[in-house]
Structure 1
């Protein structure tokens, strides 16, 4: 072969290779665009990277475009270091737009490169002086080193028991004792066989861990019962009563973008059901994610990019009603910004915690606290370092009223994986822990507790499945708590929070509610032997009955006394009648109107019927047993016989009416209902009678 022919053949080969390479790059670019449109950023980044590598260095424009696409996908898939390198290539090939400089600056903040980030933010402001995100970013880059140096009272610790080599995030404590932790994870134990095109890992599932009596957490396991699927599930929250779980689900569709949606699962027999969609809007082109229920159970907060927001992802809310969902509303400023606001959650005291990259911070997503002020507006604060870091910090959950719990962060992880951390802030907290239950019975989870404070507090508290509730108190405020439940009498308690307390203080309140339709035992009533004289040791229980009758002024009762089977029927009736009258006389002496009280001595005519609660103390008894003379004598054990006789020797009351004093002789209401007014007064109605208290 002559030299000219050799040169000609070589040129042809090089041209052919260039054409083939160019075609390959175009194919990769097209595949990358398809993945990008579907939101599958991990797969898209790989395609754009291959295209970039195939494009000859001399084709600077094309290389710059491919680098820009690659950088965007690395940014979205939390690969910070790769994203920074890609954006630098976009700049090197003179293809950078203002948005690229802004995105590079934000990634440099996540990398802790504050001086370099400041230079990029300044470049953006030079061409766009009104860019809010660049202005906030420049302030952040200048102040971040000082904020980190100052620190805070928070301490954080990485929780290795919960973490794997993949991502774990958005922990959420559950249970009356906060001894269960639910969280999202992409670890290998998650369902599904294919890797996610978004993250390059298994699709996320919801996992949980339990704490034993010694405080040790168990190895996390996936939630069973049909909650998890081959799709992405995660970022869950719970209704105040613990019966419903709201979470985010992102189903796969090869033809459409991945729009996140909120779904709901119900708890039955300690298992979570398969989730069903929660339809918050007719908008089918926006994402709905990151649900959070307000402590009073009246609002569902969530994140969406629907039209009408401030830009990026915003926090919205919708009212929860018995008939469904109300209209959605944007939280607006100062919470939402042109950036992204995500992962809302609540501390039990009502403070809203969320994460944002649009406010002044340390880099990435920072956690912010939004408190409602006396002007009924949100006021924001930044909890500082080390709760916040240069990475993404988000997904708070609180262990009761105290400022401790868990959150998630990708700080210090070179691959950008999120992990779960504990946090603790030793602040002084005053709380009330209350229990609502039936007198001589079990807890009342259907009860409602109203609280009014002389600082203007006026709210309804949710009661958990064990009948308990918790309220964080403000210093120096006097609170009135009223527990109500349909079919039961009300009960109220008053508590005053200390001013300038030196340490945390927990106050325990018991709300024992009397059943309106069944006899209620008055425990610890004692008489002299064979007499109707009340012993001094009875006064505590009787004073409590006085309080109950004063709290329920529209109630009349029958006050009954009972004896065991020993002695004649006539004698027992006379003795029990005198004893019932002794109790009534005590109540009258302490201000209870005589016409509200009816004393009756039943003697041995009404032996006690055993309730389930009593069987826990006396296992030889069964629910429904009637302690008749025949039943007692059939017991071979004399001690058991004496226990039954003691149970029969009792004093009880039964509600007769709930309308005392409400109507005049013509049957008309004596007082018309008062109009609701602003202030500390609360007007409640329950079972036909009204209580107004200051």
Structure 2
């Protein structure tokens, strides 16, 4: 039987051993914390806390405080609150304890305790801006939840896993592909992150099927993902470049987020390359977002020069690299954290913050820039888009106020999941297509959009030659499409009020300056030069084209098929070309701008690629000569004869009426202010 002295000795020894073990846990925890590995640090601090004797109240309080800081970082809200309360109970707190606890109460939806906590802070520190914002949030949040907005929110289970899924982003012009970040089991690597306790994030994507349902979640089989942490991506308007956040693991160095770019080639994404925004290597750069015009890269950073915590910054994207870095300043940025910027295509900036009045955690806010003052105005979209949890990472399905976002609302692990959102609203849009007559889209075109409400925009078209733009009721719009090497084309649109969302479609077929342009739907009486009534529409369109391009002269070309004598066809085609010219002259087109020529059957049609889609048995550059046609079936022969019987025009000059008889400009351009130029542009287009 052991005596009482040996029992005391064993007890003292066990206390000493436990104390030594706890100190080792704290040292390990401190090392993990310094590296930003908060999950591993929390486990070490928890073990140290449990090994600390109850009578060592001061030490238990300090270790509880360390544990609370880690749990707060990894969104273990309930555990963080309990740890902070223990630190307070043991009277071991720092200057931020009460503020962090109040923020956690907000995030937990415990608004009464949050209000009490912030009131206590303000009794001793009247100028604490974050406490003021927190107190206002605690008071207003219950009222906002009682008066929800019209947003419809649904958890998108087909996109989510048993781990974290967040930062969705549409890709492509049809909005049928969705990229997002996930720590699911399919992510690369086998090790668990010391930050979250899950696998490092990878970027995944999925695609809608013909019925509009999301298909299987797919990994990206290229050098884009790695065993490191990748996520929160954004795409340039042309969809050729992806910007993403990347965090590298280094067991001896803190983990700082960096922004990388990846180029798309042969339908796959290349290995990311680091983007050096500044020379600062001790700050984080994350959450890239490209502005709708593709000229700015917005991002989140804690670099010096901000307003506190994480701020939203931007840097100009140029053909020569990155321009200067700008902080968006107040009222967007606050002493709290502003993160996850993203854009609705109409130019509205969406971001998440815990420094503005909200419902708790990160709330989504909308920033709109006033065109006159250039100042930002901030709007809180309310509940249920926002919740007491973290809400962030919006992506929009075109101009409509619907899409996807991420939130950790209601998740005990603090893991994020993807939700759909829609705010029913009436949106009127115009979709235009700019293309070459008889050919394909003109991706280098530009469209000038002018409205009698003061609208004056330059719209760049996408790779398929299209553009989409929001328009407003009771406004008259004029759209002028231009492209180097082509004539201008103008369309007008009067927008009336509607009761449901409506899209108007406009076509902009541009005529080449260098190649013959077919005048569709020109018809003559059989074996005569008399124009039929069915030709009026096409000829009126040609009249408009000449009026829109008053400095051009054209040659009107009439052609016949190979049947009949050359002399007869020459005479007939000449008369037909003159009939077209006479019609245009009757509509006010100057005679000296028109040169009618009949070519008879001397110039058979040369097939262009677009026509081969309608007639697959024809090939590009085929010449519809008599010999070529004679080897075809009878029905194909008739089609070719119809193609050859055509009326075209080709531009001869683009300087008509510009010079006087001495070769000088008739009207020299005058210097105007920008305001005067805008007025003149409106006048010219209308």
C-alpha spacing 1:458/1:247, structure 2 compared with 1 (3 Å): farther
The residue number in structure 1 matching 2:639 is 643
Structure 2 residue 417 is matched with structure 1 residue 419: yes
What secondary structure sits across from 1:222 in the alignment?
coil
Q: Higher mean Cα deviation, 193-202 or 550-559?
A: 550-559
Partners of 1:369 and 1:383 within 8 A in 2? yes
The answer (yes or no) to whether the contact 1:176–1:465 under 8 Å persists in 2 is no
C-alpha distance in 2 between matches for 1:391 and 1:405: 19
* Residue 576 of structure 1: aligned partner: 573
* Residue 498, structure 1, aligned to residue 475, structure 2: no
Quick one: which of 119, 130, 135 aligns to 1:133? 130
Residue pairs, 1:176-575, within 5 angstroms: 176-373=173-370, 374-498=372-496, 501-575=498-572
In structure 2, distance between residues paired with 1:19 and 1:675: 88
Counterpart check, 1:658 vs 2:654: yes
Does the CA-based 8 Å contact 1:453-1:477 persist in structure 2? yes
Q: Provide the C-alpha distance between the structure 1 equivalents of 2:611 and 2:500, rounded to a whole number of angstroms.
A: 39
State the alpha-carbon separation in 1 of the partners of residues 38 and 667 from structure 2: 68
Q: Distance in 2 between matches of 1:496 and 1:305?
A: 48
On the 8 A contact 2:473/2:496 being kept in 1, the answer is: yes
Equivalent-residue separation in structure 1 for 2:159 and 2:108 (angstroms): 25
**TM-score between the two structures when normalised by the length of structure 1:** 0.95
**Shift in CA distance, 675/56, structure 1 to aligned 2, threshold 3 Å:** farther
The 1:363–1:680 alpha-carbon spacing in structure 2 relative to 1, beyond 3 Å, is farther
Moved more, 362-371 or 92-101: 92-101
Deviates more, 1:153-162 or 1:376-385: 376-385
Unmatched 5+ stretches in structure 1: 686-690
Aligned residue for 2:159, secondary structure, equals: coil
Q: C-alpha distance in 2, partners of 1:143/1:683?
A: 46
**Cα gap change, 1:40 to 1:477, in 2 (>3 Å):** farther
State how many pairs are aligned.
684
Deviation at 1:692, TM superposition (A): 5.3
Task: State the alpha-carbon separation in 1 of the partners of residues 106 and 416 from structure 2.
Answer: 17
**Contact kept? 1:242, 1:464, Cα under 8 Å:** no
For residue 666 of structure 2, give the secondary structure of its aligned residue in structure 1: coil
1:12-58 Cα offsets, whole Å, 9 max, x none, are 33333222222222221122112111111111111111111122222
Report the alpha carbon displacement of residue 660 of structure 1 after superposing the two structures with TM.
2.6
State the SS of the aligned residue for 1:245: strand
Which of 72, 75, 88 lines up with 2:72 in the alignment? 75
State the 1:194 CA deviation. 1.2
What secondary structure sits across from 1:164 in the alignment? coil
Map Cα deviations across residues 367-418 of structure 1 (whole Å, 9 max, x no partner). 1111122432211111111111111111111111111111111111111111
| Cα contact 1:147–1:384 (8 A) shared by 2 | yes
User: In structure 2, how many angstroms separate the alpha carbons of the residues matched to 1:629 and 1:169?
Assistant: 65
Aligned Cα RMSD in Å?
A: 1.9
The offset of 1:674, in angstroms, is 4.1
TM-score scaled to structure 2, two decimals? 0.96
Q: Distance in 1 between matches of 2:302 and 2:547?
A: 54
Distance (whole Å) between structure 2 residues aligned to residue 638 and residue 161 of structure 1: 56
Partners of 2:464 and 2:379 in 1: how far apart? 34
The structural deviation recorded for 1:676 is 5.2
Is the contact made by 2:224 and 2:262 (CA closer than 8 Å) also made in structure 1?
yes
Structure 2 CA distance for aligned equivalents of residues 492 and 81 of structure 1: 62
Q: What is the DSSP-based 3-state SS (H/G/I as helix, E as strand, rest coil) of the residue aligned with 1:24?
A: helix
The answer to whether the Cα contact below 8 Å between 1:453 and 1:680 also exists between their aligned partners in 2 is no
Query: Residues 397 and 658 from structure 1, CA distance in 2 versus in 1: closer, same or farther, beyond 3 angstroms?
Result: same
Give, in angstroms, the shift of residue 680 of structure 1.
8.1
Instruction: Say if 2:182 and 2:204, in contact at 8 Å, map to a contact too.
Output: yes
Q: Please report how far the alpha carbon of residue 111 of structure 1 lies from its aligned counterpart in structure 2 after TM superposition.
A: 0.9
Match for residue 42 of structure 2 among 40, 45, 52: 45
Match of 1:157 in 2: 154
Q: Which moved more, 1:386-395 or 1:471-480?
A: 471-480
The alpha-carbon deviation at position 349 of structure 1 amounts to: 1.0
Q: Return the alpha-carbon distance in structure 1 between the equivalents of residues 670 and 80 of structure 2.
A: 64
Q: 1:9 aligns with which of 6, 10, 13?
A: 6
Q: In structure 1, how many angstroms separate the alpha carbons of the residues matched to 2:23 and 2:375? A: 53
8 Å CA contact 2:64, 2:86 repeated in 1: yes
Match of 1:241, SS?
coil
CA deviation vs aligned residue, 1:426-462 (integer Å, no higher than 9, x gap): 1111111111111111112222223233333333323
Contact 1:682/1:693, CA 8 A, preserved across alignment: no
Cα 1:596/1:284, change in 2 over 3 Å? farther
Q: What is the CA–CA distance in structure 2 between the aligned matches of 1:579 and 1:673, rounded to whole Å?
A: 40
Tell me, in whole angstroms, the C-alpha distance in 1 between the residues paired with 2:199 and 2:574: 75
Aligned to 1:688: none
Whole-Å Cα distance in 1 between the matches of residues 374 and 672 of structure 2? 19
Question: Is the 2:350–2:366 Cα contact (8 Å) retained in structure 1?
Answer: yes
Cα distance between partner residues in 2 of 1:549 and 1:278 = 49
Q: Is the 8 A contact 1:241 1:462 kept in 2?
A: no
> In structure 2, what is the Cα distance between the partners aligned to 1:309 and 1:673?
46
Q: Could you tell me how far 1:683 is from its partner in structure 2?
A: 10
Shift of residue 681 of structure 1?
Answer: 4.7
Q: Is the 8 A contact 1:439 1:513 kept in 2?
A: yes
Instruction: Say which of 31, 35, 43 aligns to 2:32.
Output: 35
Q: Map Cα deviations across residues 77-131 of structure 1 (whole Å, 9 max, x no partner).
A: 1111111111111111111233111111111111111101111111221222111
